[in-house]
Amino acid sequence: MRFFSGLLLFFLLQTVWAQPPQVPEGAAADTVYLDHLGLPVASSGKAKEYVISWQTDTANVHTLSYTIEGELTAESNYLLLRGYLLAHGVERQWYPGGQLKLEAEHQYGRLHGTVRSWWENGQLRRKDEYMAGVLQQGLCLDIRGNLVEHYPHYRRAEFPGGEEAVRKFIIQNLQFIYGPWDLRPEGVVGIRLLVDTLGNLSDAVVVNSLHPELDKEALRLVELMPQWQPAMEEGKTITERVDMHIVFNRNEIWNRELFRQVDEHSVMVLHDTLFLDEHYRKAPNLDTAARYIVPQKTDSITIVERTYNQQGQLLAETSFMHRNQYKVKHGLERRWHSNGQLQLEVYYDHGMMDGTLKTWWENGHLKRQDEYQLGEFIRGICLDPDGAQLGHFDFFTQASFPGGEAARIEYLNSRMKYPVEALAQEKEGIVHLSFVVDSEGNVVEVTLMRGVHPVLDAEAVKAVLHMPLWIPAREDGQKVRSRVYMPIEFRMQDG
């Protein structure tokens, strides 16, 4: 990381005052009134602020925030991804009176681009450059325009010792509800609270209720907590709203006495387990399964899935972001060889590899180390089982039709016939199919995702089932089964 060392005069120009943003004419805008915790209230009488929002297209949301007196405080842009809003685009904040305070660029929920902030007199305060959430370079200036030592724009409020410390605190202080095993409630209690400039916690309320007794226990835990490290913005401590998620889960070893009574392996199988046979199809029970997957909800949107073989040996652990029945890899993924040696470790950000991907041979030697940035490969090395460097090869290659995309289209055009019944009814459209290409290249498990008309659907399925062997997908050099999604279009010719 480097920082600007000289005083760059063109950064010292004062902010140009501009007309405040307005809701576009004709936009279907919604207004929500919020209290001091940022929670919705029914009317303006109890509100401290309000937010006007509208969709600029099917995937983007624009918001304007105002004090209850009607003074503009912020403008934000979001990406609507599977029901989850991510900061994406320009964010602006204003001081009381209308002077621009902050202008920042976001991409998929992280700072990406330029962050500028200004003093109340209009003097530039900072200019930082970010890439995928990581500060690359920056400068800070005092109110008179003199260069000062660089300091972070923002630091969130935090439990003393961080996330691991708060997890241990909850484990040590949690009082679980006793009763019949199957009737013990479990899930996530969501709490919103304020952390003031001294780190004191106040105004805690339940925003995601699970069970009256568990809600009460979650609030009790908050009351027991020590002072936090307060949030900081532009070098000053600030009062911040904080969302906490306290997990009550029968599968977590939070109550050691409780877990002395039940074998851990048995407990895990009790929890919403998915059994799969050797072909990764659903199996009715553990006796007929080759492996099973145990999902565990860690907060309101995050699920960790652990995969075990029939003997209970851990094979994989993957984090997903789950929203509105969709899930996408988000967080750490690990896999293990059958001998217990770690095989893979990688971090995902909203379905994209981000950071370092490492894989290992069964003997424990490093096999690959690749660097990714939001799904884009940057650099990497590959090694043989003895540690000698190999020519680099892609970690994953998709299954492909022999001869490529042009050959696939030619095959479909030659094999498919437009059904007479569909022609007579003037039926046309796109049939969406998915199928598995196994490690030998066979096309199996064809599934109709979205159809158009029964005879068109049947014609598309028949063509896929009769396809020649595909070139199977490869992962880290090994042939693997993979699922392929294929739209097949039926379009009547004009005339």
Question: 392 pLDDT exceeds 90?
Answer: yes
Amino acid at 218: A
- Is the model more confident about 392 or about 163? 392
Q: Give the residue-averaged pLDDT of 6-20.
A: 42
Domains and CATH numbers, the chain: 9-152 (3.90.930), 163-248 (3.30.2420), 337-393 (no CATH), 405-490 (3.30.1150.10)
Distance of CA 375 to CAs 356, 372, 474, 480, Å? 11, 6, 18, 21
- Check if the beta carbon of residue 104 is closer than 8 Å to that of residue 88: no
More confident residue, 262 or 328: 328
The average pLDDT across 156-178 equals 77
Helix, strand, coil percentages, rounded to 5, for the chain: 15, 45, 40
Q: How far apart are CA 53 and CA 56, in angstroms?
A: 10
Can you list the positions of beta strands (E) in 23-59?
A: 30-34, 40-41, 49-55
What is the secondary structure of 62-112 as a DSSP string? EEEEEETTS-EEEEEEEEEETTEEEE-EEEEEE-TTS-EEEEEEEETTEEE
pLDDT at 322 over 90: no
Looking at residue 287, the DSSP 8-state letter turns out to be: G
Q: Residue 463 pLDDT > 60, yes or no? A: yes
Q: Is the pLDDT of residue 259 over 70?
A: no
Instruction: Convert 437-462 to b/e letters by CB count within 10 Å (16 or more is b).
Output: bbeebebeebeeeebbbebbbebbbe
* pLDDT, position 90: 93
Q: How confident is the model at residue 415 (pLDDT cuts 50, 70, 90)?
A: confident
Q: Which helix (H) or strand (E) holds 223?
A: helix 212-224
Of 77-81, 109-113, 181-185, 490-494, which gets the smallest average pLDDT?
Answer: 181-185
* pLDDT > 70? residue 464: yes
- Does residue 202 surpass a pLDDT of 90? yes
Does 177 score more than 80 pLDDT?
Answer: no
Provide the 10 A C-beta neighbour count for residue 125. 21
Distance set, CA 413 to CA 359, 410, 461 (Å): 41, 5, 14
Which H helix or E strand runs over 212? helix 212-224
Is the distance from CB of 369 to CB of 357 less than 8 angstroms? yes
Mean pLDDT of the chain: 83
Average pLDDT over residues 229-253: 80
Where residue 301 falls (left for φ over 0; alpha for ψ -120 to 50; beta otherwise) is alpha
Of 270 and 77, the one with more pLDDT = 77
Q: Say how far apart CA 463 and CA 304 lie, in whole Å.
A: 38
From residue 475, alpha-carbon distances to 317, 343, 344, 397, 399 in Å are 17, 12, 11, 7, 10
Report which residue type is found at 366: L
